[in-house]
Structure 1
Amino acid sequence: MLNDIHPKLPMRNKAITKDYYINQLGFKELGDEDYEAYLMVKKDNIEIHFFLFKDLNPKENYGQVYIRPDNIDQLYQELLDKNIAIHPNGKLEIKPWGQKEFALLDPDTNLLTFGQSIL
């Protein structure tokens, strides 16, 4: 039986990634140990792990995570109120597949897509 999934995404600089997810998106750091090349963050029921990849070319990074919030309109507005950059092609909209979605790019161009069913 599968219970959870914790995606692992690349990061070039732990301090920058940590700042973005904790100070901007409101995640909390997990764990009692501070590993130089690894970071774990959690918000509500979402947990994302990051591994250090200093040579990552952000233009060639295709890391992606699809996250399902309970109230996508509220989340979107909260991010706008904090001046969090929305993906240029990822503004909040209803998609043909029955999801209301928007997207962000983190500092390493990992794509975070948020989607809530409208059906």
Structure 2
Amino acid sequence: MSLKSIAPMLYTRQVRESVDFYINNLGFTCVGYDEDWGWATVSRDDIEIMLALPVDNTSFTVPKFTGSFYIRTDKVDFLWSELKDRAVICYPIEDFNYGMREFGVFDYNGYLLQFGMPIE
């Protein structure tokens, strides 16, 4: 047995608007959408993120995830130039003393997405 990948499921009250944001602002593709289920999957390269209405027994008003989604890339400067004017910036691209060059943006719902690569 081996684990192959992880696809976070992000709750939102606006599935269609969230999908549109990922497509139009972050360069993702919608690979699955069902309005009746209140669910969608978006992907870009090897990254897959699911977006869904909260389950009925969950109280949900704003994103509750307390961390961030850290996406490793081999072209962080390219991504920065592509995304910097299309999303709300959490922090701009920077070299950090722990050996990563990275930046952070917020998605449509306020979830933090970080993009980084090792400094060579």
CA contact (8 A) 2:88 2:107 kept: no
CA contact (8 A) 1:9 1:63 kept: no
Distance, in Å, in 1 between the alignment partners of 2:87 and 2:25 is 10
SS at structure 1 position matched to 2:92:
coil
By how many angstroms is 1:34 displaced? Answer: 1.7
Q: 1:25-44 counterparts in 2 under 5 A?
A: 25-31=26-32, 34-35=34-35, 36-44=37-45
- Tell me the residue number matched to 1:50: 51
Distance, in Å, in 1 between the alignment partners of 2:19 and 2:62 is 19
Which is richer in strand? 2
Count of residues paired in the alignment: 114
Give the unaligned 5+ runs of structure 2. none
Q: TM-score, normalised by structure 2?
A: 0.83
Structure 1, residues 41-84: CA drift from partner, whole Å, max 9, x if none?
010111011121383225x553621101110001101113xx21
Q: TM-score, normalised by structure 1?
A: 0.83
Give yes or no for the alignment of 1:100 onto 2:66. no
Say what the alpha-carbon RMSD is for the aligned residues. Answer: 2.0
Q: 1:3-82 counterparts in 2 under 5 A?
A: 3-31=4-32, 34-35=34-35, 36-53=37-54, 55-58=60-63, 61-62=65-66, 64-80=68-84
State the percentage of identical aligned residues. 36
SS at structure 1 position matched to 2:21:
helix
Give the unaligned 5+ runs of structure 1. none
- In the TM superposition, structure 1's runs of 4+ consecutive aligned residues that sit over 4 Å from their partners are none
- Tell me the residue number matched to 2:87: 85
